[in-house]
Amino acid sequence: MQDDSSVVLIFENAPDQTTTDRFTGKKSFLGYETVSYLDTSGAYREFSPRRYGRDTLSIPTYNGYAEILHMYQATEKIFVLLKGGDTVLVTYDQRLRPCFNSLVSSLNTSLYNPVDQQYTIHNNGFSIKTILSDPYFISAYRYLKSPQLQKQYKGLSEGVKKYAVDLDSLSNVFDCYKPIILNRLDTISSISEIYGNYYKRMLLGIGDYSPQEVVSSDSLMHYISSYVIAQDYHKRNNSTDTFEAAANDTSMAPIARREVLKRALTTIQNGEYGWHPYNQKTIEYYSKRYTEITKDTLNNKASDSIPEVAGSYDYDLILEDADGTRTDFSSVLHNNEGKIVYVDFWASWCGPCRTQTPYSKKLMEQFSQEDIAFVFISTDSDKKAWLKAIQEEGIKESSYRILNPDSKFLQDINLRYIPRYLFFSRDGHLLNADAPRPSTDDIGSLMTRLLKE
CB 14 within 8 A of CB 34: yes
Domain boundary among 85, 113, 141: 113
Question: What was the pLDDT predicted at 280?
Answer: 78
For every one of its 453 residues, what pLDDT tens digit does the chain have, with 9 covering 90 and above?
Answer: 457 899 999 999 999 898 888 888 778 776 788 999 999 999 999 888 888 888 899 999 999 999 999 999 999 999 999 999 999 999 999 999 999 999 999 999 999 999 999 999 999 999 999 999 999 999 999 998 999 988 888 777 777 888 899 999 999 999 999 999 999 999 999 999 999 999 999 999 999 999 999 999 999 999 999 999 999 999 998 999 999 999 999 999 999 999 999 999 988 877 776 556 788 788 889 989 999 999 886 555 555 445 545 556 778 899 999 999 999 999 999 999 999 999 999 999 888 888 889 999 999 999 999 999 999 999 998 999 999 999 999 999 999 999 998 888 888 887 877 889 999 999 998 988 888 889 887 788 889 999 987
135 and 64 in a single domain? The answer is no
81 and 203 in a single domain? The answer is no
Q: 323: buried, middle or exposed (CB in 10 Å: 19+, 13-18, 0-12)?
A: exposed
335 and 443 in a single domain? The answer is yes
The domain spanning residue 403 has which CATH number? 3.40.30.10
142 and 243 in a single domain? The answer is no
182 and 277 in a single domain? The answer is no
Could you tell me if residue 232 is inside a domain?
no
Amino acid at residue number 325: T
* Greatest alpha-carbon span in the chain: 71
CB 133 within 8 A of CB 101: no
324 and 447 in a single domain? The answer is yes
257 and 137 in a single domain? The answer is no
Question: What was the pLDDT predicted at 312?
Answer: 65
Q: Residue 283 and residue 385: Cα distance in Å, rounded?
A: 27
349 and 376 in a single domain? The answer is yes
Q: Residue 6 and residue 60: Cα distance in Å, rounded?
A: 4
Whole-number Cα distances in Å, 91 to 15, 95, 116, 125: 10, 11, 17, 15
Could you tell me if residue 438 is inside a domain?
yes
CB 39 within 8 A of CB 94: no
Could you tell me if residue 146 is inside a domain?
yes
**Buried b vs exposed e over 205-238: b needs ≥16 C-beta within 10 Å?**
eeeeeeeeebbbbeebbbbbbbbbbbbebbeeee
Q: Phi/psi at 140 (nearest 5 deg)?
A: -65, -40
244 and 348 in a single domain? The answer is no
Of 389, 353, 342, 393, residue with least CA distance to 270: 353
134 and 108 in a single domain? The answer is no
User: For residue 92, what are the domain limits?
Assistant: 1-113
Question: What was the pLDDT predicted at 314?
Answer: 78
Could you tell me if residue 177 is inside a domain?
yes
Q: Residue 412 and residue 434: Cα distance in Å, rounded?
A: 12
45 and 107 in a single domain? The answer is yes
Into how many domains does the chain fold? Answer: 4
Could you tell me if residue 109 is inside a domain?
yes
Could you tell me if residue 309 is inside a domain?
no
283 and 357 in a single domain? The answer is no
What pTM was computed for the model? Answer: 0.79
Could you tell me if residue 299 is inside a domain?
no
Could you tell me if residue 125 is inside a domain?
yes
Domain boundary among 113, 130, 150: 113
Q: Phi/psi at 401 (nearest 5 deg)?
A: -125, 140
Question: What was the pLDDT predicted at 151?
Answer: 85
Domain boundary among 79, 113, 147: 113
